[in-house]
């Protein structure tokens, strides 16, 4: 059965990722444990959805990990409404506190904990390291500028040579 775009635009449907970027990231053990508990309490729920991942929209049954209390898919509006509750419960500020703030929290947490910049790029799914650095350079920890590094290496080499 074929569907015209107007039948699924504005609705909830499966598609490829927005930027075309897909891959695997490490799952934190704490998050994995929380997901296991969630799945025990709330088993996967199958819902009918339109799948446009192949370019040819088809309706099919899809198992979802997160649904509403009425067993409907979480839409962007549902996430936004829930996020406001979660954000308030966590004590996060309202200013710049949209759902996208979680991405920045994730990025800055990686950075201030000295995760290698290439690993941060991979985890954030940025296409280049330059994007990661330009976006988050102001969060990278500043270190005291070391002076005399070349001189230290040359003195060590000269001292090593004197002992021969």
- Measured over the CA atoms of residue 119, residue 124, residue 127 and residue 133, the dihedral's sign is negative
Residue 151 to residue 134: CA distance in whole angstroms: 32
- Measured over the CA atoms of residue 39, residue 42, residue 43 and residue 49, the dihedral's sign is negative
pLDDT truncated to tens, each residue of the chain (164 aa)? Answer: 455 544 554 467 888 877 666 777 778 899 999 999 999 999 999 988 888 888 888 988 989 998 888 888 877 778 888 888 888 898 888 887 777 888 888 999 998 898 999 999 998 989 899 999 999 888 777 777 678 888 888 898 888 765 55
């Amino acid at each position: 059965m074929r569907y015209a775009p107007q039948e699924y635009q504005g609705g909830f449907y499966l598609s490829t990722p927005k930027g075309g970027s897909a891959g695997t990231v490490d799952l934190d053990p704490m998050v994995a444990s929380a997901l296991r508990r969630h799945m025990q309490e709330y088993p996967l729920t199958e819902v009918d959805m339109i799948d446009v991942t192949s370019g040819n929209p088809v309706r099919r049954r899809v198992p979802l990990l997160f649904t509403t209390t009425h067993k409907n898919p979480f839409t962007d509006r549902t996430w936004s409404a829930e996020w406001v509750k979660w954000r308030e419960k966590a004590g996060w500020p309202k200013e710049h506190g949209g759902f996208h703030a979680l991405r920045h929290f994730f990025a800055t947490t990686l950075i201030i904990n000295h995760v290698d910049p290439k690993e941060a790029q991979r985890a954030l799914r940025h296409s280049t390291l330059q994007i990661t650095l330009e976006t988050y350079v102001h969060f990278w920890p500043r270190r005291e500028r070391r002076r005399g590094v070349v001189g230290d290496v040359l003195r060590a080499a000269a001292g090593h040579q004197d002992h021969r």
